[in-house]
A and B are shown apart, each in its own frame.
Chain A
């Protein structure tokens, strides 16, 4: 699992590559703590190369979205692959928070 963090203008971009299994979810939790403590106004999760997530990873997406919601920020997930999408749908994530097919659309949505 690789977690890449970048900043494009005022947008935090977190790209996840590989499998978000239980140990990787712990890594992501630590990284997200630092990122969320800085109160970002805009956050994009690029999930186009995320092949798998279990419930621990999913909780991190819920927590980030909730935190941004509370502080008046915006969060968008993009490129969610088919099988991961199924899990997002089952948990009700995709119904509540915006997900878009491409990174360009995420930038449009959040800018």
Chain B
């Protein structure tokens, strides 16, 4: 029986998303997550990571980002914790994409999708950095 928890520590570079998605795929396969659930979790993680890497992490610092997934009977809980400066991705200004218009703000569309796809989102500042908790119902 595979551990219901998946923990991965990532460096602050977008190529790490590929490594994470491979681990996520194995986790999803093992726990028989539906394609809808695993797609939503992958997208939410990538959008949050890219936002954190673009805005939260400083170029001259070696930041690390810790990702933790936990499968319960009815949900998958996802945590993203970094050691970067204050950055709350949920406060990014978003608006519903107007039909036929290219979403203006880089990042805004990503957060819009995360809010649509995940069932609960919570941000808090910790002693270490930023912690984002997301829940996807099964």
Contact = CB atoms under 8 A, between A and B. Distances in A.
Contacts of A62: 101-103
A72 interface: no
A90 B116 contact: yes
Tier of interface size on chain A: 20 to 34
Contacts of A56: 50, 110
Interface of B: 14-15, 17-18, 21, 35-36, 39, 42-43, 46-47, 50, 96-103, 107, 109-110, 112-113, 116-117
Nearest to B14: A22
A105 interface: no
Interface string A45-79: 00000001011101100110010010000000000
Contacts of A91: 97, 103, 109, 112-113
A22 B36 contact: no
Interface of A: prevailing SS: helix
Contacts of B46: 21-22, 54
A95 interface: yes
A23 B14 contact: yes
B80 to A, nearest CB: 15
Contacts of B14: 22-23, 26
B36 A54 contact: no
Contacts of A97: 100
A87 to B, nearest CB: 7
Nearest to B107: A55
Contacts of A26: 14
12 contacts: A21-B17, A52-B39, A54-B113, A56-B50, A58-B109, A83-B36, A86-B39, A90-B113, A91-B97, A92-B99, A95-B99, A96-B99
Residue among A21, A55, A56 having the largest count of chain B Cβ atoms under 10 Å = A55
